[in-house]
Amino acid sequence: MDYKRVNNDINGNPRYVFHFLNFLTKKEMENTKGISAKYELAAEKSRLIGGKKYRGKDFGGGIVIQSYNIENTINDIKRLQTDEAL
C-alpha cells in the first residue's frame, strides 16, 4: 500500500497520507457513483481509525492519519477494505 510521509502535526506526531481509494471495498467502488461521493465515503470510513481529509496542496484526494506504527495503520486500512469490524 502506497503512502506519503508528510510534516508532523503541531504536537510533533508523525502523519501519513493515503489515497482515498485505499479505504473502499470493491463493492463500494462499483456501487458509489462519482469521485466526490467516493471521497466522502472514504473520509467517513477513515474516521473509524483516526483519519481525516488531507487539505494540503501537495497531495489531492488524500486521507491523513497520525501514526507511530505504520504497519498497524496499514492493517487497519486493510480491515476497512474487507468490511471487517474494528
Query: What's residue 84's pLDDT?
Result: 55
Question: CA-CA distances (angstroms) from residue 17 to 25, 54, 64, 71, 78?
Answer: 19, 7, 4, 14, 15
Mean pLDDT computed over 35-58: 93
Tell whether the model's pLDDT for residue 86 goes beyond 80: no
Its pTM stands at 0.87
Which grid coordinates are listed for 23?
479505504
Of 18, 29, 23, 21, whose CA–CA distance to 63 is shortest?
18
**Phi, psi dihedral angles at 11 (to 5 degrees):** -95, 5
| 52-53/62-66 β-pairing | antiparallel
